[in-house]
C-alpha cells in the first residue's frame, strides 16, 4: 500500500496525516500542455500549478511550482511549493518540446516535518513516473526570455545603501518620508506630521516640533533636532495629548486594526538620543564600544553587544551588516561609506556559519545555504485570506488636495501627501489599508 500525506487543521496549526492509496500503475503520459495538474483520490486532491523556470542549462531544466492539498471536507486547500527538475527534448520540426524525467527535489508546506515532506515527495514522484509534458517551443522560449529579462532586471535593481548611522549609546531612529508633511488636526491649531510612524506634531505658532516619548513629550526647533524634554506642556499640546490618550484607550477597547503611532521610550531611566532622517535610513546601536566574538570554523567575528547583525571579516578587515534582508559592507562603522553586497558575493565564510551559532539565523540570507533555499520555497507558497467586502472599509486623508508623483521606470504615480500607500494607474486609484487593496475612480474614493 502506498501512502501520501495531506494536511489537517488543528489548534496548533496545520499538520500532515496519512491517506491510504490503493495500488496504482505508472501514470500515463500527459497528453496536453494544460495546467494545473491534478492528482485525484476519493479522500482528497493534490494540485500542481504551472512551474516557473528557475534555470535551464543544456537539456536540464529546474523550476518551482505551487502545490495545493485539499481533503474533501475542507472548504479551502492548503498551499505549499516544490522544486522540480527535468530533461528537455526538443523537436524543431514540430516546434514542440517535451519535459521528461520529472522529479520533485524539494518541498515546503506550513508546519511540515522533514519526514512528512519526504512522504509527499515520494508520492508526487511516483505519480509522475512516465510523465512527458509537451510544451510549445515558442512558449518555452518565451519563458526563457522572461527568465533572462528577470535576471537582467534583478541586476539593474537599485541597491544603493540607505543612510546607515552608528551610535555606541542608546538611540532611536525616527524616519520621515521626505520633508515633514503637515495635516490639520480638527479642533486644534497644532498639526500632525503625517509622513512618519511616530507621534509627531508641529506648532505653527511656536514654530516647534513635538515628539511623544512615552509619558513625556520632547521638543525641537528643527525636525532634525536636537530634541529635549518639554515641561510643562503648552496648553494646546496638553489638551491634544489628553484627547490622544482617550482615543488610544478607545482603540484598545475596540481592538482597532489600525496601527497606533510609535512612541519613544526611556531606557534605564534616560531618554535615548533621537536621530531623525528624512531619507531611508538604518540605525546601528551598540552598548558601548563594539565587543567582538569569533564564529567557530570561520574567519568572521560578530559584534555581541548589539541587537543588530554586525560582522567583521578578518580577512578583508571589512564590516558587514544585514539590514532588512540586504547585506552592506564598509571599512568603518561610523564613517562608511557603505556598499551593497549581493548574497552570492559574500565572503565564503558566511556560508560556513554553524546553524548552532548565535548568528546561525543569518544563513537564510546567504546564497547557497539550505536555509536560503527553504526561504525561496517559503516565498513561493501563496498566502491567502478571506475579506468580507461588505465590512471592509478604507479612508485616506491627504494634506490638502491629493498630490501625485511619477514612479521612475513605471507608468504608475504615488500620492506624496498622505500616510497611506496610494497609487494611480491611468484613471484608477489603488490604496493599501491594513494589508488590503482597495480601488477607486477618484483619489478620495469611495474605496472598494
**pLDDT tens string 260-310:** 677 676 666 688 999 999 999 999 999 999 999 999 999 999 999 999 999
User: Does pTM surpass 0.85?
Assistant: no
Instruction: Considering only residues 358 and 35, tell me which one the structure prediction assigns the higher pLDDT.
Output: 358
Q: How many residues are recorded in the chain?
A: 448
> Which of the two residues, 39 and 347, has the higher pLDDT score?
347
Distance (Å, rounded) from C-alpha 359 to C-alpha 365? 11
Residue 385: the pLDDT is 67
pLDDT (mean) for 144-170: 77
More confident site: 80 or 358 = 358
pLDDT at residue 441 tops 90: yes
Q: Within a 10 A sphere around the Cβ of 109, how many other Cβ atoms?
A: 23
* Rounded CA separation 130/132 (Å): 6
Q: What's the pLDDT band for 255 if we cut at 50, 70, 90?
A: low
pLDDT of residue 111: 67
DSSP symbol at 249 = H
How is 216-233 classified by DSSP, letter by letter? EEEEESSTT---EEE-SP
Percent of the chain with pLDDT over 90: 43
Mean pLDDT of 342-362: 95
How does pLDDT run across 378-424, given as a tens digit for each residue?
665 556 667 777 788 888 888 778 999 999 888 999 998 887 899 99
Mean pLDDT of the chain: 82
Nearest Cα to 218, choosing from 243, 205, 201? Answer: 201
pLDDT band at 13 (very low <50, low <70, confident <90, very high): very low
Residue 350 is predicted with a pLDDT of 97
Mean pLDDT of 355-378: 87
Q: Which residue would you say has higher pLDDT here, 424 or 129?
A: 424
Listed in sequence order, the residues at least 6 apart from 38 whose beta carbon sits closer than 8 Å to its beta carbon are 45, 46, 47
SS3 411: coil
pLDDT above 60 (res 135): yes
Query: Is the pLDDT score of 31 beyond 50?
Result: no
Q: Please determine, for residue 130, whether its predicted confidence score (pLDDT) is greater than 80.
A: no
As a whole number, mean pLDDT of residues 19-34 equals 41
Cis peptide before 226 (omega within 30 of 0): yes
Determine if the peptide bond prior to 36 is cis (ω within 30°).
yes
Q: What percent of the chain has pLDDT over 70?
A: 84
In Å, how far from its chain's centre is CA 9?
25
Q: What's residue 390's pLDDT? A: 79
**CB under 8 Å to 361, separation ≥6 — which residues?**
371
Top-confidence residue, 207 or 245: 207
> DSSP letters along 127-157, please?
HTTT--EEEEHHHHHHHHHHHHHHHHHHHTS
At residue 315, does pLDDT exceed 70?
yes
As given in the structure block, the three cell numbers for residue 384 are 491567502
Q: For 168-183, b where at least 16 C-beta lie within 10 A, e where not — what string? A: beebbbbbbeeebbbb
* pLDDT over threshold 60, residue 30: no
Instruction: Quote the DSSP letter at residue 238.
Output: H
* Residue 16 pLDDT: 33
Look at residue 338 in the predicted model and tell me its pLDDT.
97
Tell me the average pLDDT across 143-172. 78
Checking if the pLDDT of 162 tops 50, the result is yes
In this structure, of 97-101, 146-150, 157-161, 369-373, the range with the lowest mean pLDDT score is 146-150
On the question of pLDDT at 357 being above 50, the answer is: yes
Domains of the chain, start order: 2-155 (3.15.10), 166-272 (no CATH), 286-376 (no CATH), 385-448 (no CATH)
Say what the pLDDT of residue 440 is.
93
At 254 the pLDDT is: 62
Give the pLDDT confidence score for residue 154 in this predicted structure: 53
Reported as a pLDDT band with limits 50, 70 and 90, residue 74 is: confident
pLDDT grade for 253, boundaries at 50, 70 and 90: low
Amino acid at each position: 500500500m502506498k501512502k501520501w500525506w495531506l494536511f489537517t487543521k488543528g489548534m496548533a496549526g496545520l499538520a500532515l496525516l496519512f491517506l491510504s492509496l490503493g495500488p496504482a500503475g505508472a501514470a500515463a503520459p500527459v497528453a496536453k500542455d494544460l495546467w494545473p495538474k491534478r492528482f485525484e483520490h476519493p479522500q482528497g486532491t493534490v494540485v500542481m500549478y504551472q512551474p516557473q523556470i528557475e534555470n535551464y542549462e543544456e537539456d536540464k531544466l529546474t523550476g518551482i511550482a505551487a502545490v495545493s492539498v485539499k481533503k474533501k471536507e475542507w472548504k479551502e486547500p492548503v498551499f505549499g511549493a516544490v522544486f522540480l527538475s527535468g530533461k528537455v527534448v526538443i523537436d524543431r520540426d514540430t516546434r514542440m518540446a517535451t519535459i521528461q524525467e520529472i522529479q520533485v527535489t524539494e518541498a515546503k508546506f506550513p508546519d511540515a516535518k522533514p519526514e512528512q515532506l519526504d512522504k509527499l515527495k515520494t508520492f508526487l514522484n511516483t505519480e509522475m513516473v512516465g510523465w512527458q509534458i509537451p510544451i510549445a517551443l515558442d512558449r518555452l522560449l518565451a519563458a526563457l526570455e522572461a527568465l533572462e529579462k528577470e535576471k537582467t532586471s534583478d541586476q539593474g535593481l537599485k541597491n544603493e545603501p540607505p543612510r546607515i548611522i552608528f551610535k555606541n549609546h542608546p538611540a532611536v531612529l525616527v524616519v520621515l518620508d521626505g520633508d515633514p508633511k503637515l495635516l490639520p488636526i480638527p479642533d486644534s491649531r497644532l498639526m500632525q506630521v503625517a509622513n512618519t510612524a511616530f507621534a509627531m506634531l508641529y506648532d505653527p505658532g511656536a514654530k516647534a516640533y513635538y515628539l511623544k516619548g512615552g509619558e513625556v513629550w520632547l521638543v525641537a526647533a528643527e525636525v532634525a533636532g536636537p530634541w529635549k524634554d518639554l515641561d510643562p506642556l503648552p496648553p494646546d499640546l496638553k489638551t491634544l495629548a489628553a484627547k490622544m490618550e482617550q482615543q488610544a484607550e478607545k482603540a484598545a477597547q475596540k481592538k482597532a486594526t489600525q496601527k497606533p503611532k510609535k512612541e519613544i521610550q526611556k531606557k534605564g531611566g534616560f531618554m535615548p538620543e533621537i536621530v531623525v532622517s528624512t531619507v531611508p535610513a538604518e540605525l546601528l546601536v551598540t552598548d558601548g564600544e563594539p565587543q567582538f566574538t569569533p564564529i567557530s570554523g570561520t574567519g568572521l567575528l560578530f559584534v555581541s553587544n548589539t541587537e543588530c547583525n554586525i560582522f567583521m571579516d578578518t580577512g578583508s578587515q571589512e564590516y558587514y551588516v544585514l539590514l532588512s534582508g540586504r547585506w552592506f559592507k564598509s571599512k568603518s562603522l561610523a564613517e562608511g561609506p557603505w556598499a551593497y553586497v549581493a548574497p552570492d558575493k559574500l565572503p565564503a565564510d558566511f556560508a560556513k556559519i554553524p546553524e548552532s551559532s548565535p548568528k546561525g539565523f543569518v544563513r537564510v540570507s546567504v546564497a547557497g545555504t539550505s536555509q536560503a533555499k527553504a526561504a525561496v520555497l517559503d516565498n513561493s507558497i501563496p498566502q491567502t485570506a478571506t475579506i468580507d467586502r461588505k465590512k471592509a472599509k478604507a479612508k485616506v486623508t491627504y494634506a490638502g488636495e491629493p498630490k501625485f508623483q511619477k514612479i521612475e521606470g513605471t507608468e504608475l504615480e504615488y500620492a506624496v501627501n498622505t500616510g497611506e500607500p496610494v497609487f494611480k494607474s491611468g484613471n484608477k486609484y489603488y490604496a493599501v489599508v491594513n494589508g488590503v487593496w482597495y480601488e477607486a475612480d477618484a483619489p478620495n474614493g469611495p474605496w472598494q
